[in-house]
Chain A
Amino acid sequence: MTLFRLRALGALRSLTARPAWLVVGSGLLLGIGYAIFRGVAAGVRWLYAYPLVDRLAPTVLQRSLEGLFLMLMAAVLFSVLVASIGILYGSADLELLLAQPTGRARVFGMKVVELFVNAAGLPLLFTLPVLAGVGVALGAGPLYYLVSAVAASALYALPVALGALLALVLVRVAPAGRVREVATAASVSVAALALLGLRALRPEQLFRLGDQDADAFERFLTSFARLDAGWLPPAWAANASWAALDGRVHAGLLVLLATGAAGLGLAGLLAHVAFARGWVRSLDATPVAAPRRRSATPWWERVLVARFGVAGAIIVKDTRVFMRDVQQWSQLIVLAALAGVYFVSLASIPVPTQQFRDVLGAMNIAFVGFIVAGIGLRVAYPSVSFDDGAFWLSQVQPVRKRAIVLAKFLFALPLMLVLALGLGVTAGKVLDASPVLAFGAPLAAGLGALAITALAVGLGAANARFEFTSPNELVMTPGAFAYMALALAYTAIVTVLLARPAWLVISGGGTAAYWSTAEGLAVIAVLTALTVGTVIAALAFGVRQLARTEAGLPGG
């Protein structure tokens, strides 16, 4: 227990180190949680009151819970696979922990708990208000709240156990010499394949809507209610929660708990045999002293330094580190997988009419913003903190904080722009959206990439942490929550600003000439002003806060 207590105390101290940010981040999280709770409660009441579907409502709701559990379990699995090697084998505190007279399985257990908090913490925080909303709307008793919370936790523990097992195996089988790099790359690739594989099943084919059917909605709900996936763990969790509404304990809960315990038990057993050896193996092999070929300063380095000065030199250094650090470049695999999932999803949605295509085109503007914000959290937000223990070098050199923040922004921007514009343009083509949206979506995506990258870099600089046991910790901080909230708020404002042209198109009134009318130009001007303002404010805030940072030397 001492290990857990120490780790929990460390996490608590790091959370409370900046009380203002903790208050802001917690406030935003609580606000989002409350909005989810109220929204779900209202939605459930509406569903039960809807005349056509009242008899179907309980089943539809149960299936919706299953769908939510499935989606979030997939998200947890994805996060676990991406983070497992870093947390289980790359944490800086392992050297100290494994040197103590304590069981290796116990150390491994603590790291698995850390993995659970990192990967399943946020999904669980979003699940609980949903379950509470359902419970309040249906007047559930205390048993429901207890069972549903336990079922959700046990459900999300399954992918954590799976990820831990995979990490144990990968580190043992990865080729000597580059164990951690290969294991991390393999793990991230498995995550990307799992995500693409799940999506490639195209579950929406099971209940495809008819074209212009007046009873389509009811038939959709009927077919949705008939979907039975009782053999999947999300259904066990949903069934257990549902039975608890009537005061019953469903066998699904026991199966879920037994499976989770078996998975963690197996991982613990394997860890007893393989964890310490795997860790030693990864240590032995990580720093391979293979000299690189000496070369003259490459042309791209000369161009960047000549064009951007100090910021250019920082970009050159960051490019090298990015290309050589598997934890950083593997994010590109994640990015490609997410883009792939998005396009598969768009191509799978039945779009019978132009009107429907334009509705999706309008929604695409918001979706792209959400995706770019999520990628920004992994790619741009930690960019200043990635300097880690070497930040002292920047502190003692004649380098303005402005140059550091600008360099990080310019480094992350091309990646974010390519992603956002790619999604905006391609989605428009896939959907064959009307010209107004075919122009509006890439415009919003491009401007969104600028603003969201600046928010990520600015808030990441303002909340830079140069001592962390694993980079995954960085995205579970109050500053990261604040960034996500602001990025989503920006996306919401842009979506609202583009609602008018979208409505014109959907109602049949919009033409390609819209963007050259006074109204169209005004929308562009407001969007541009909002973006420029966000970029300047976010970066300036990051520069000011970074200048106040007293950190940089390990242990300093």
Chain B
Amino acid sequence: MLELVQLTKRYGRTAAVDGLDLAAKAGEVLALLGPNGAGKTTAIRCVTGLIKPSGGRILIGGHDVEREPIAAKTLTGFVPDRAWFYPKVTARELLRYLASVRGLSAAESRMDALLERFRLTRSADSLTETFSHGMRQRLAFCAALIGNPRLFIADEPMVGLDVQGHRDVKLLFRELAAAGLAVILTTHTLAVAEEVADRIAVIDRGKLVALGTLAELRARLNRSDDTSLEELFILLTEPQAPGSDEHLASPERT
């Protein structure tokens, strides 16, 4: 569903994303992990069309994001880390607007179902400027799902959500994958990735450091089955003394 081929994004001489090759299949949850500044958000913003790549290709459902942006974006739903909406528009009006720009007719029942699912029915007719961060985040989920996407991307989706929101979102990711969507999420909450992700991609300094299931990552680093993702993550991303460890020097996929 999503294929990144040598994706590169440079800011001057700095490469935020440096020749990233990655693919996400329909029906799987792929967690994108990495330390701050690793390039996760930059890569996702390239995929969603918020910023333009300096090089490489992004294919969504076979459509090149640069050449066929409308076809690619039609297949995509996106939840940013800090969702902000038109303050003087109600949640319902916002969803109606998004349904209109996507050319969806008779979206009212889907709208109601999404608002219900994300516990926003009572606030559906309030202006979004009155929403708390968590409510805005839940509305972002509704907005991302209103267009029946095939690729669902969430950048730090847990930020600002309450406990019930956390649980809902984790369930949602599995449901979406079960329904055949490709789901990509970035998160610093490793427990979430461990719980919901089918595969885990670790990025550091713009490059892919490791990719695989949790078991595959353990096997690659020669760790036992009870090694947590947190330990694996630190091993994969901590700065190494020159020549002290070989795992960063061999970034081939597992």
* Chain A residues within CB distance 8 Å of chain B: 286-294, 297, 305, 309-310, 312-314, 316-317, 320-321, 324-325, 387-390, 392-393, 395-400, 548, 550, 552-556
**Across the interface, which residues of B come within 8 angstroms of A294, CB to CB?**
92, 124-125
Interface residue B237 (Cβ < 8 Å from any Cβ of A): no
Point out the residues of chain B lying under 8 angstroms from A325, CB to CB: 87-88
Partner of A316, one of B97, B122, B126: B97
Contacts of B254 in A (CB 8 A): none
A397 touches B86 (CB 8 A): no
Q: Tell whether, in the assembled complex, residue A320 and residue B89 are in contact, meaning their CB atoms are under 8 Å apart.
A: yes
Contact for B84 among A396, A399, A550, A553, CB less than 8 A: A553
User: Are A396 and B85 in touch, CB under 8 angstroms?
Assistant: no
Q: Say if the beta carbon of B141 comes within 8 Å of chain A.
A: no
Q: Is B70 an interface residue (CB 8 A)?
A: yes
Q: How many Å lie between the Cα of A554 and that of B80 in the bound state?
A: 10
Could you jot down 26 A-B contacts, CB within 8 Å? A287-B127, A288-B130, A289-B130, A291-B90, A291-B122, A293-B125, A305-B100, A312-B100, A313-B97, A317-B93, A317-B97, A320-B88, A320-B93, A321-B86, A390-B84, A390-B85, A392-B84, A393-B86, A396-B49, A396-B73, A396-B78, A397-B98, A398-B71, A400-B70, A555-B82, A556-B50
A399 lies within 8 A of B101 (CB): yes
Not counting A292-B90, A392-B84, A393-B86, a sample of 14 additional A-B residue pairs whose C-beta atoms are within 8 angstroms of each other reads: A291-B124, A291-B126, A292-B125, A292-B126, A309-B103, A313-B100, A313-B101, A317-B86, A325-B87, A325-B88, A390-B87, A396-B48, A397-B98, A548-B52
Inter-subunit contact A395/B49 (CB<8 Å): yes
The interface bits of chain B over 53-75 (1 if a CB of A lies within 8 angstroms of the residue's CB, else 0) are: 00000000000000001110110
A534-B198 Cα distance, complex, nearest whole Å: 55
Give residues in B with beta carbon < 8 Å to A: 45, 48-52, 69-71, 73-74, 76, 78, 80, 82, 84-90, 92-93, 96-98, 100-103, 122-127, 129-130, 143, 147
- Pick the contact of A397 from B90, B101, B126 — CB < 8 Å? B101
Contact A291 B123 (CB under 8 A): yes
Sorted nearest first, the 8 A-B pairs with minimum C-beta distance are: A313-B100, A389-B84, A324-B88, A289-B130, A398-B73, A287-B130, A550-B51, A398-B74
- If the complex has contacts A287-B129, A320-B93, A398-B101, are A553 and B88 also in contact, measured as CB distance less than 8 A? no
Name the B residues within 8 Å of A555 (CB-CB).
82
Alpha-carbon gap, A365 to B200, bound state (A): 67
Separation of A293 and B45 alpha carbons in the complex (Å): 36
Residue of B nearest to A466 (CB): B84
Please determine whether A397 and B102 come into contact, CB atoms closer than 8 angstroms: yes
B205 to chain A, nearest CB (A): 20
A325 to B88, CA, bound (A): 7
Residues of B within 8 A of A316 (CB): 97, 100
Inter-subunit contact B82/A554 (CB<8 Å): yes
Task: Knowing A297-B96, A553-B82 are in contact, say whether A395-B48 is a contact too (CB < 8 A).
Answer: yes
* A288→B87 CA distance, assembly (Å): 12
B122: chain A residues at CB < 8 Å are 291
In the complex, the chain A residue whose C-beta lies closest to that of B73 is A398
> Are B45 and A556 in contact (CB-based, < 8 A)?
yes
| A317 in contact with B89 given A289-B126, A395-B50 (CB within 8 Å) | yes
Tell me, rounded to whole Å, the shortest Cβ–Cβ distance linking B112 to chain A: 10
Across-interface contacts of B45 in A (CB, < 8 A): 553, 556
Assuming A294-B92, A393-B98, is B80 touching A553 (CB within 8 A)?
yes
A310 to B49 CA separation, bound complex (whole angstroms): 18
Residues of chain A within 8 A of B80, CB atoms compared: 392, 553, 556
- Closest A residue to B77 by beta carbon equals A396
CB distance from B204 to the nearest CB of A (A): 21
Q: How far is the CA of A312 from the CA of B87 in the complex (A)?
A: 20
Note all chain A residues with C-beta closer than 8 A to B130. 287-289
Chain A residues near B101: list those with CB within 8 A. 310, 313-314, 397-399
Check A390–B86 contact: CB distance below 8 A: yes
